[in-house]
Amino acid sequence: MGYKREFIDFMLEAGVLSFGDFITKSGRKSPYFINTGNYKKGSHALKLGRFYAECIMENIRSGKIPEDISVLFGPAYKGIPLSVATTIVFANDYGKDLNYCFNRKEVKDHGEGGSMVGYKLSDGDKLLIIEDVITAGTAVRECIPILKAAADVEICGLVVSVDRMEKGKGSLSAKQELYEEFGIPTFSIVNIVEILEILKDTLDDNIKKRMEDYMENYCVL
């Protein structure tokens, strides 16, 4: 689990992954929390870009992501720096000069106008959506019509740092729902099962038990 372990250590060092008592947006009482707002340094952005690029390259090599991906789309707001950082790493480390673009929360009615910033999407473009964490898949559902309105693009996947593996609107996980509804696969640097497996020898027994109970109740394993 090479780079996965490194990524978990990175989240802990940056204060992004923490354990305790938290209430999630869905109202669930969670024993862990992922606050990607704690990434705030240039070194954090560089490392994030490298982890995302490594995840993408791993899935390109395995044939799960097409090799001719040309665009990374970052949903506003957290996806914006992630998509930019990842394209920088691809250009610098892999010699692959990808395009990036992102959406505005509000449509601009002056200047160049529109809701998109960066690369102008074209019919036939193959793109990846770059996000921080998948919990319910809401952000992806919101940006699909935006992307399809811009051009006839092929959305080849969603790439996230952490898959919480939680149930969506029904018995399926948010990841499974996105694939069932839109045919979009999700790729994560790590998921909650991998986090627990890697940290099992360092976590307090009480936290481990609460993590296991939470996952049994709310996750699709």
Q: What is the mean pLDDT of the chain?
A: 91
* Bridge partners, residue 171, by sequence: none
- The residue from 41, 108, 120, 148 that is catalytic is 108
Give the tens place of pLDDT for each residue, 1-38.
689 999 999 999 999 999 999 987 777 899 999 999 99
Give the tens place of pLDDT for each residue, 79-106.
999 999 999 999 999 999 999 999 886 6
Cβ atoms 97, 125 nearer than 8 A: no
Give the tens place of pLDDT for each residue, 147-187.
989 999 999 999 999 999 988 878 898 899 999 999 999 99
CATH architecture of 2-218: 3-Layer(aba) Sandwich (3.40)
Average of per-residue pLDDT across 123-136 = 90
Cα(87)–Cα(121) distance, rounded to whole angstroms?
16
Place of tokens 């969670």: 30
**Can 110 be counted among the known catalytic residues?**
yes
Give the tens place of pLDDT for each residue, 183-211.
999 999 999 999 999 998 999 999 999 99
Cα(208)–Cα(202) distance, rounded to whole angstroms?
10
Please tell me the pTM assigned to this model. 0.92
The H-or-E segment that residue 19 falls in is strand 17-23
Domain ranges of the chain: 2-218
Place of tokens 């996105």: 178
Cα(65)–Cα(127) distance, rounded to whole angstroms?
10
